[in-house]
A and B are shown apart, each in its own frame.
Chain A
């Protein structure tokens, strides 16, 4: 299983833990010595993963509040052990799957992916996870299934943001079956080799690197195989702004943000905007959309 997709970023590209923890201090020290770190080719290519601190303190997880720092502040209330995922719909083996049984059966890999938010900012994240296709094979997808729907857990007592209908809870997302089966698509269980932090969607979340970040359903409690396009939360809230596909596309402007460029998080006050790449740079998915008008199916 797994390993069907070859990572162009390797573990050598991950900042060593001691270094990312101390990066700010080290950079300050290096600057003081007149060394600077700008000579690093990784930095030049823009593929250096963001620090663990950046990734875990700047989150959109509206169940814990709409501020970027709300998830880091409030997500510790979420109970993640035990955790089961209800897998139902058009599958051979429906049921409640405990992730403590499920995850050991999967091949966990590290995948360093670009992450592009619909709000026109981006990061690079070293995920740990397994291919969603492997889970779909394990539960057996019935013929005729065309879509996979995901649901985030809804626990108002643990999720202060859900006490007000910012979105139509529970958070729902979906993929077409071929998107879900693409080897790039992960169910992630960790970052930087550590268990998934709660503010990032512990214990298990979706990762679809060629789509905008809001497609990556967090803290998944249910996966449903269906033959109809499933309703998705942001699309229900505002269909004009958020389409079902939501592929990263610099040519289709969002009503709120031009998507032509992005601000790379972690670059400080004067970080220059960078051009956004079609499919967030993952051209290998282009064949999934052959013959589709991506302006209409945004």
Chain B
């Protein structure tokens, strides 16, 4: 069964993942143009894209622990997931900038003065070099430094989670759960392999 999953994952062409991954963005905007997103389409698009971005970032963080804990080999998906996540973050940001805030001076003021915007912005900036270097050429060129650089994904995703917690008004559970999952996934990186074996693989 697992072998079958691993084999079919290997068989998926990358271009198909990118095309399929872009569908929700296109679908959201098509609905927005058709006035099918309710009274405030900008808010719906912004929130949906932010949530999709967070899901993809979390999915990206799941690949390695799954590889360590289970016989699942999803490593091939890690790059497309990461690149797609960045695409969602970017469209989320551009939607906020162009359709929501609109006014350039206000955009700058918001990034500097509103902590939840600042945090989201830092997360985007940290993800940028990762997206740019997500290709074989960069891996060859950067050698050992590539691994080091891509550890930026941990603070970037953590800040994305913090961004979600901060934008929520009042005391809300859902954003805290997302942040908890992110923190858990990051801490698994520092757990020795044997801990996983004992915890998850019963023999």
Contact = CB atoms under 8 A, between A and B. Distances in A.
Interface of A: 24, 50, 53-54, 57-58, 62, 66, 68-69, 121, 164-167, 234, 237, 253, 255-258, 260-261, 263, 265-266, 268-273
A170 to B, nearest CB: 14
Interface in B77-101: 99-101
B109 interface: yes
Nearest to B117: A256
Nearest to B107: A258
Q: Helix, strand, loop or mixed for chain A's interface?
A: loop
A164 B173 contact: yes
B39 A57 contact: yes
B35 A268 contact: yes
Contacts of A272: 102
B99 A256 contact: no
Interface of B: 32-33, 35, 38-43, 45, 99-103, 106, 109-110, 113-116, 167-173
A258 B109 contact: yes
Contacts of A253: 113
A69 B113 contact: no
Contacts, number: 67
Q: Is the interface of B mostly helix, strand, loop or mixed?
A: helix
Nearest to A50: B39
A268 B34 CA distance: 9
Contact of B38 (A62, A69, A165, A260): A69
Contact of A66 (B42, B106, B168): B168
A199 to B, nearest CB: 13
Nearest to B114: A256
A50 B39 CA distance: 9
A257 B114 CA distance: 7
A258 B169 contact: no
Contacts of A237: 170-171
A234 B171 CA distance: 11
A256 B106 contact: no
Given A68-B38, A256-B116, 15 more contacts: A66-B169, A66-B170, A66-B172, A167-B170, A234-B170, A237-B171, A255-B115, A258-B106, A258-B109, A260-B106, A261-B103, A263-B40, A265-B40, A271-B42, A273-B103
B71 to A, nearest CB: 39
A166 B168 CA distance: 10
Contacts of A266: 39
A271 B41 CA distance: 10
Contact of A57 (B38, B110, B114): B38
Contacts of B168: 66
Contacts of A261: 103, 106
Contacts of B101: 273
B41 A269 contact: yes
Given A260-B106, A261-B106, A269 B170 contact: no
A260 B106 CA distance: 9
Contacts of B172: 66, 164, 166
Contacts of B114: 255-257
A273 B96 CA distance: 13
A147 B5 CA distance: 67
Contacts of B113: 253, 255
Contacts of B171: 164-167, 237
Nearest to A268: B35
From B38, B114, B167, B173, name the one whose CB has the most chain A CB atoms within 10 angstroms.
B38
Contacts of A271: 42
A271 B100 CA distance: 9
A108 to B, nearest CB: 26
B115 A269 contact: no
A143 B106 CA distance: 47
